[in-house]
Amino acid sequence: MNTIPTEMHPSASKSLSQRIDSIDILRAITMVLMIFVNDFFTLTNIPDWLKHAPRGVDGIGFSDIIFPAFLFIVGLSLPYAIEHRRLKGESNTKIIKHVLFRTLALLTMGVFLVNGETINNEASGIKAGTWFPMVCLCFILIWNKYSSKTSALLQSILQYSAILSLLILAFFYRGGENGDARFETHWWGILGLIGWAYLVSALITVFAKNNGYVLLLGWIFFCALSILNKSDLFPKSDFFQYIPGTIKSGTLVALTMGGVLSSYIFRYFVSKNANLKLTISFILGSIALIILSLFTRPYWGLSKLGATPAWLFLCSAITLLPFILIYWIVDVLQRGKYFNFIKPAGTDTLLCYLIPYFFYGIYVLTDFKLPEILTIGGIGLLKSFLFAILCVFITKKLNSGGVRLRI
């Protein structure tokens, strides 16, 4: 990707803090697709290439590229978010506190959602259809960005009531077939995995202070870590057992750091108004990533569930190419209005992600069944896509009503 300068030019500081519409749109598209593919469990007779590839299979389906794309976009956004805070006068210490708080929020939400997947209705006295809407409502009450019209007392009552409710739910939780499993981190869930990758990438970005070589070394390090793990060469010392698996495996952090590095290169060329050089650099970078994927695939395969290096490199390229295309459409040609109907999924992504859990809760509680024709083949796929658009529409209406998540 051409030469990487050690620091951004000072004249780029202002643009560095501004929100880039193309990143919001790319995030919005990814979230719509995430809701779309997550709804496939309600469908039958859909093409296998759209689904997740089974564990052990050397290959990926369309569903397997959505989550890594989101991680990559988290990285794209990070430098802008951190620089925005710096321009507001925040110290590194304050920024790191925010990073830790945000990580804790994502881990908390991830664990609560994961436990709901294995809840035992009889042993816990809580139905799965109730669990998800309840915990998601608590998340919204805790992390909502309340308007200035909301009194401090009411805000505190809502937030602490939600925290207490989560603690009570965790206490009474019982899971597993026999109902003997307690509330625990079975795994971190999608939000939790994002949280760990975000934590490491954000800390590297903070301490790099816009030094491109530090960001490049960070990306290379976690790519190498991914390869070491798949080669079973990671040290066996007891010390390393305390490092979260998401960080230790390297792959998910490398995806996010790839976004951070790409954002750095993107900002460098944009600050010089060199859109053609930017495009050529990203195309060449994508080709290099695809070559790396082809080179590593014979050794460890191409697999999302295996979090293989080939999956890491290929999905990075798959995300990078649409990003530069969307940048030209939205920011260069100023045609962003075409995407306005999905933009709330990119500006309040977390809230949009939570909306389906309310529908699925109702679905389970009422044993509601859609007409079979709406769950089969192409018509079923259209239903799932329209469901994703409905979630975006609800997000927009909630934002208008004063519900907007900020962590």
Walk along the chain (407 residues) and give the pLDDT tens digit of each residue: 444 544 544 434 444 445 689 999 999 999 999 999 999 999 999 999 999 999 989 999 999 999 999 999 999 999 999 999 999 999 999 999 999 999 999 999 999 999 999 999 889 888 888 999 999 999 999 999 999 889 999 999 999 999 999 999 999 999 988 888 999 888 899 999 999 999 999 999 999 999 999 999 999 999 999 999 999 887 777 777 788 889 999 999 999 999 999 999 999 999 999 999 999 999 999 999 999 999 999 999 999 999 999 999 999 999 999 999 999 999 999 999 999 999 999 999 999 999 999 999 888 888 778 899 999 999 999 999 999 999 999 999 999 999 999 88
Q: Is residue 16 part of a domain?
A: yes
Question: How many Å apart are CA 79 and CA 259, to the nearest integer?
Answer: 10
Domain total in the chain: 1
Convert the pLDDT of each residue in 265-306 to its tens digit.
999 999 999 999 999 999 999 999 999 999 999 999 999 999
Q: How far is CA 35 from CA 7, 31, 157, 397, in A?
A: 38, 6, 32, 18
pLDDT for residue 4: 52
DSSP 3-state of 176: coil
3-state secondary structure of 226: helix
Q: Which domain holds residue 294?
A: 10-400
What pTM did the predictor assign? 0.92
How many residues appear in the chain?
A: 407
Q: Classify 102 as helix, strand or coil.
A: helix
Nearest to 197 by CA among 179, 222, 180: 222
Nearest C-alpha neighbor of 291 from the set 271, 305, 272, 310: 310
Q: Rounded distance, CA 72 to CA 321, Å?
A: 12
**Contacts made by residues 324-327, CB under 8 angstroms, sequence distance 24+:** 324/278, 324/279, 324/282, 324/283, 326/22, 326/25, 326/26, 326/29, 327/20, 327/22, 327/266, 327/278
Q: What is the pLDDT of residue 240?
A: 74
Residue 407 falls within a domain, yes or no? no
Residue 365 lies in a domain: yes
Please report the pLDDT score of residue 191 as a whole number: 96
Query: Which pLDDT score, from 0 to 100, does residue 18 have?
Result: 56
For residue 323, is it within any domain? Answer: yes
Place of tokens 């909630």: 398
